[in-house]
Structure 1
Amino acid sequence: MGGNGKQHRWKFSILRSSSKPKLDPKTPPSEFICPISGSLMSDPVIVSSGQTFERVAVQVCTDLNFSPILGTGSRPDFSTVIPNLAIKTTILNWCDKSHTEHPHAPDYASLKSLVREMMAAEAPQVEEQIRVSEEELLKNVAENPPVNFSHAATELGPRINHFDSGSSEESVIIRESHGTPLPFTIRPTCLSCTSSSSIEISEIEIQNPSGTIFEEEEKLLMKLRSSEVFEQEEGVISLRSITRNSEEARFSLCTPRLLLTLRSSIQSRYAVVQVNAVASLVNLSLEKRNKVKIVRSGFVPFLIDALKGGSSETQEHAAGALFSLALDDDNKMAIGVLGALQPLMHALRSDSERTRHDSALALYNLTLVQSNRVKLVKLAAVPTLLSMVKSKTSDLASRVLLILCNLAASIEGQTAMLDANAVDFLVGMLKGNELNSESTRENCVAALYALSHRSLRFKGLAKEARAVEVLKEIDKTGTERASEKAKRLLQMMRAVGEEEGLECDGTMESGGLTRTGYRVGCGSTTF
């Protein structure tokens, strides 16, 4: 009777020995049983999310691109596999003590059939579950005014100047941190790029009226899951085309089934499939309601891989996707934790202007969160960012300065920038007229202003850099924003001079420390 019970519990464990094992009626501990195969583990491994499975079971799930829902309601992460020697030894010891034959690896084909059954059983439930969690996740998020986005398909018109303050539909005023950030676009640069697959997209323009979206999803899934590469190409190009302009299609097609399949397409070794898959994800991410869902579906690691090793066009779209996803406050910390900061920093040196710009904007949005500021400082990013301010591309320099403004808003970032001699560097850039656009000069003054916030150290460094004469000039000739920041800096430095007993005019501008003539000098000098 004990043998029958054991056989039923371990029905997927294939024993190679024809002799019947001497079984102990004692039931093995649940931690010895693989949650997928249901059998005693012969080669247990720990996966990234911390659970232990039979190695063959993990391999089957990886090959089928499937992550089952466990009893806890979570899905395991199979991206990393480490042998669990401790549990293996414990299982073997238990087998010896209970006179049970050591387990053998289960049959791959049998496990594959079992996993397919799990996939079929989960299919009708997954979408409903994710929709419910999505509603719960977003119910406390304040609704922002709608933003007029474009899409990740080809546009043959002129490129848009993303720093044009007159483009009200594509620009927003980012909330200020000590009044430093300036307006810039929230539209990924890759959305206006000329794609190598542009002809294919325009040739198969698909009309998708409401009411047919679910039929369209089934057609897309069939193509995307096909073993034929040309059908996969047709599938991702169709998806990219459908989601070009239709907000309804972006939201309705962002289903668990399609997202799971699209993840596989992003991993494809075929360039056309990968490029259009990532571009399709950019389109889907434009819908605000999709942003959290996409991150929670596990796309960030795949976008990071595409940013690291994809083709130039794939990298452009990967940077654009990370930028778009980073616009949602609920995604910022997760994207940083998942390791996107360092690849985005590396992408700032890309040969592609679009990749550089969207990576900079992604970093700007990510550094609105304190935890990401600390991570970026620990990556020693400050010297690199300062060197990029000298970029011949004024737009990139302006974006990099915005990142530095965010870093300066934290104690860690402010300290790192002061240690890197940022005050002297930024004053020197302003003094030498090396910043070739007004917006870049504004951001440079804003970075100085952010560094001055609650910093006694800044005051001394600014005097040494002879900042007063530069700030006076900006106050007279700069833009309204730059002049306002310069004026505040001058007022702060004058107050410091009075507190320290310095001669405000001659002494502050020369960097001297004499106290002679203090009463006369300060009483007659204004900034």
Structure 2
Amino acid sequence: MGGNGKQHRWKISLHRSSKSKLDPKTPPKEFICPISGSLMSDPVIVSSGQTFERVAVQVCTDLNFSPVLENGSRPDFSTVIPNLAIKTTIINWCNKSHTVHPHAPDYGSLESTVREMMAAEAPEERIRVSEKELLKNVAENPPVNFSHAATELGTRINHFDSGSSEESVIIGESHGTPLPFTIRPTCLSSTSSTSIEISEIEIQNPSGPISEEEEKLLTNLRSSEVFEQEQGVISLRSITRNKEEARFSLCTPRLLFVLRSLVQSRYTVVQVNAVASLVNLSLEKRNKVKIVRSGFVPFLIDNLKAGSSETQEHAAGALFSLALDDNNKMAIGVLGALQPLMHALRSDSERTSHDSALALYHLTLVQTNRIKLIKLAAVSTLLSMVKSKTRDLVSRILLILCNLAVCVEGQTAMLDANAVECLVGLMRENELNSESTRENCVAALYALSHRSFRFKLLAKEAKAVEELKKIEKTGTERAREKAKRMLQMMRAVGEEEEEGLEGTLESGGLTRNWNRVGGGSTTF
């Protein structure tokens, strides 16, 4: 049946429920799920306060869809709590009205219903309000994949390229997750005095008359001649590389609009220097949100997927730099950067893989991005890279895993993927190339241990106690503290097991079920 037919049937269901006062056989409106149109068997309350059938919420969540309700609002499905009161009331009503108790609806049937609802809505109406704001500048400029020349038109400009970045990693005590890096993208030179934390520059009229410098740049950037475009982006790259104050004064709507088209250029030299210029502009803290809202992220994602090697390096650096701003994290995830960044971890370019890892670390500080990454089956990929000791990415990948482990879904996925055995084995092999890597390995284990009985048993099986005792004696202060806490927790578990066994023997039973591990984690 088409979308119109399903809409009609849905309206009939809601109309019938409004007659509940006249017909005792018709269930009250609040007993009916607004999505399935039937009596609820397992009602749940969602974050926005409405009650739905649990399976209906699951279908909508899986399809990333939020339907329009009668009052014109859209429900928020981010949290689900059983509505035991309404469930009991429905059962009592069924008993009094001699109505058969409701059964959980079929997932496949509900999926078809929801898909028809989605098809019946206009595309722009299906986007959540928050996402409309993120995508408003993207709709006018849909991403286009261009083919790129195998070689650049000119020689590579090495004096803008870089060595490795300096970094400062701080392990957070509250959740076992490191705090944000104060670090620059690796596509920038470590010899420069520039850093992400740039001092505020006082500019009298940031939106005033166009400056002579900007006008000259725009003349070249807007030219139809490729050579002049090249000269324009090379000059912009040089200016924003060497003059910190120019990063804010030149980040105007006029220049960003022109630069956005050049980021998509078919000509490699133009594209490379345009993306590199964007990285330089993004170093100014006040520019980060402005750049994302100007619609650059989809094009950076395209560059990361299909650009030349150097373009990919700068695209990864730009996404990392933009992800440092908390206001950008969700937007970058919504716009689809997570999967390309995961793929870029295996890039042949060390800069691309490192900046992609750092971008993923900062993006997964946000819960919605953690869930997206877990649904992409990223945990198994990340653990396999840890086992294979991919370059010196292990420390950065461990940081991403720390972030994933702080949520229930990530903790479960990591325990299912034998993360405990993997991490303990990594410590046992003594092949961790730095103290920071060892710290991050302990931090990942510590995050997994939080309120998880399953972790405690898996850690015993992996013989983690011996390795944690070594860390407790020889590790850094933060690593020693975490190792100490885990050892205390595991000793407490051992005592609980012994007490449980003694109680079983005293009662005459010989069962050893206390030593079996269930499929899920238990919360204390």
TMscore range, shorter length:
0.5 to 0.7
1:485 aligns with 2:482: yes
**Partners of 1:286 and 1:48 in 2: CA distance:** 35
1:345 aligns with 2:342: yes
Question: For residue 139 of structure 2, what is the aligned residue in structure 1?
Answer: 77
1:301 aligns with 2:305: no
- Deviation, structure 1 residue 398: 0.1
The C-alpha deviation readout for 1:410-450, integer Å capped at 9, x for no partner, is 11111100010101111111112232222111111110000
| CA spacing shift, 1:502–1:437, aligned 2, 3 Å | farther
Structure 2 stretches lacking a partner, 5+ long: 1-120, 127-135, 144-156, 192-205, 502-511, 515-524
Question: For residue 49 of structure 2, what is the aligned residue in structure 1?
Answer: none
Structure 1 residues 321-360: aligned runs within 5 Å: 321-360=318-357
**Partners of 2:494 and 2:220 in 1: CA distance:** 72
From 309, 312, 322, the counterpart of 1:312: 309
Letter in structure 1 aligned against 2:378: A
**Partners of 1:225 and 1:156 in 2: CA distance:** 23
Report the identity percentage: 78
**Partners of 1:306 and 1:189 in 2: CA distance:** 17
Normalised by the size of structure 2, how large is the TM-score?
0.62
| CA spacing shift, 1:216–1:465, aligned 2, 3 Å | same
Letter in structure 1 aligned against 2:372: K
Residues 445 and 485, structure 1, Cα contact 8 Å, conserved in 2:
yes
Residues 430 and 444, structure 1, Cα contact 8 Å, conserved in 2:
yes
1:476 aligns with 2:478: no
Residues 171 and 179, structure 2, Cα contact 8 Å, conserved in 1:
yes
**Partners of 1:75 and 1:433 in 2: CA distance:** 50
Residues 171 and 478, structure 2, Cα contact 8 Å, conserved in 1:
no
- Deviation, structure 1 residue 479: 2.1
Letter in structure 1 aligned against 2:335: L
Q: How large is the RMSD of aligned CA atoms in angstroms?
A: 3.1
1:379 aligns with 2:384: no
Residues 137 and 293, structure 2, Cα contact 8 Å, conserved in 1:
no
**Partners of 1:229 and 1:500 in 2: CA distance:** 74
Question: For residue 246 of structure 1, what is the aligned residue in structure 2?
Answer: 243
- Deviation, structure 1 residue 258: 0.7
Higher alpha-carbon Rg: 1
3-state DSSP class of the match of 1:434?
coil
3-state DSSP class of the match of 1:389?
helix
Question: For residue 124 of structure 1, what is the aligned residue in structure 2?
Answer: none
1:268 aligns with 2:265: yes
- Deviation, structure 1 residue 183: 7.7
The C-alpha deviation readout for 1:215-258, integer Å capped at 9, x for no partner, is 11111111111110000000000111111132321111111111
- Deviation, structure 1 residue 269: 0.9
Residues 177 and 409, structure 1, Cα contact 8 Å, conserved in 2:
no
The C-alpha deviation readout for 1:336-356, integer Å capped at 9, x for no partner, is 000000000000000000000
Letter in structure 2 aligned against 1:344: L
1:258 aligns with 2:258: no
Question: For residue 396 of structure 1, what is the aligned residue in structure 2?
Answer: 393
The C-alpha deviation readout for 1:471-513, integer Å capped at 9, x for no partner, is 1111112222221211111011111222222699xxxxxxxx7
| CA spacing shift, 1:331–1:423, aligned 2, 3 Å | same
3-state DSSP class of the match of 2:211?
helix
Question: For residue 227 of structure 2, what is the aligned residue in structure 1?
Answer: 230
Residues 49 and 78, structure 1, Cα contact 8 Å, conserved in 2:
no
1:428 aligns with 2:425: yes
| CA spacing shift, 1:157–1:371, aligned 2, 3 Å | closer
- Deviation, structure 1 residue 177: 5.3
Letter in structure 1 aligned against 2:461: E
Residues 172 and 178, structure 2, Cα contact 8 Å, conserved in 1:
yes
Question: For residue 166 of structure 2, what is the aligned residue in structure 1?
Answer: 162
**Partners of 2:409 and 2:163 in 1: CA distance:** 37
Question: For residue 364 of structure 2, what is the aligned residue in structure 1?
Answer: 367
For this pair of structures, how many residues does the alignment match?
Answer: 348
**Partners of 1:174 and 1:468 in 2: CA distance:** 22
**Partners of 1:490 and 1:514 in 2: CA distance:** 24
| CA spacing shift, 1:184–1:76, aligned 2, 3 Å | closer
